[in-house]
Amino acid sequence: MGEQEIPFNFELTEEQSAIRDTIRDFAERNIRPNVMKFDESQEHPESVFRMLSELGFLGILVPEKYSGAGLGYVEYALVVEELARVDPSIALSVAAHNGLCTNHINLFANEAQKEIYLPDLASGRKLGAWGLTEPSSGSDAAGMQTTATKKDNYYILNGTKNFITNGGVGQTAVVMAITDKSKGKKGISAFILEKGLKGFSVGKKENKLGMRASETVQLVFDNCRVPEENLIGNEGEGLIQALTILEGGRISIAALSVGLAQGCIETSLSYAKQRKQFGKPISEFQAIQFKLADMATDISAARLLTYHAATKKDKGKKIAKEASMAKLFASEIATKASGEAVQILGGYGFVKDYPVEKFYRDVKLLTIGEGTSEIQRSIIAKHLLMDE
Q: C-alpha distances in angstroms, 262 versus 81, 85, 256, 383?
A: 9, 6, 10, 30
Residue 317: partners with Cβ closer than 8 Å, 6 or more residues away = none
Angle CA(340)–CA(343)–CA(346) in degrees, nearest 5? Answer: 155
CA dihedral 20, 25, 31, 32 (to 10 degrees): 110
Please give the Cα distance from 330 to 258 (Å, whole number).
6
Catalytic residue among 40, 322, 370, 374: 370
| E-assigned strand segments in 139-205 | 147-151, 154-165, 172-178, 188-194, 200-205
Which among 247, 209, 174 has a CA at the least distance from the CA of 89? Answer: 209
Q: Round to whole Å and give the CA distance between 343 and 292.
A: 11
Contacts of 147 (CB under 8 A, 6+ apart): 157, 158, 159, 177, 178, 179, 181
* N-term to C-term CA, the chain: 5
User: DSSP alpha helices (H): ranges in 180-237?
Assistant: none
In sequence order, which residues have a C-beta less than 8 Å from that of residue 82 and are 6 or more positions away?
20, 23, 24, 27, 259
Provide the CA 343 distance to its chain's centre, in angstroms. Answer: 27
Q: Which amino acid is at 86?
A: V
In the three-class reduction of DSSP (H, G, I as helix; E, B as strand; rest coil), residue 238 is classed as helix
How far apart, in whole angstroms, are the C-alpha atoms of residue 115 and residue 199? 25
Determine the Cα–Cα distance for residues 95 and 246; give it in Å rounded to an integer: 11
SS3 201: strand
Helix boundaries (H) for 4-149: 14-26, 35-41, 46-55, 73-86, 88-95, 103-108, 111-123
Q: Is 5 a catalytic residue?
A: no
Catalytic residues: 370
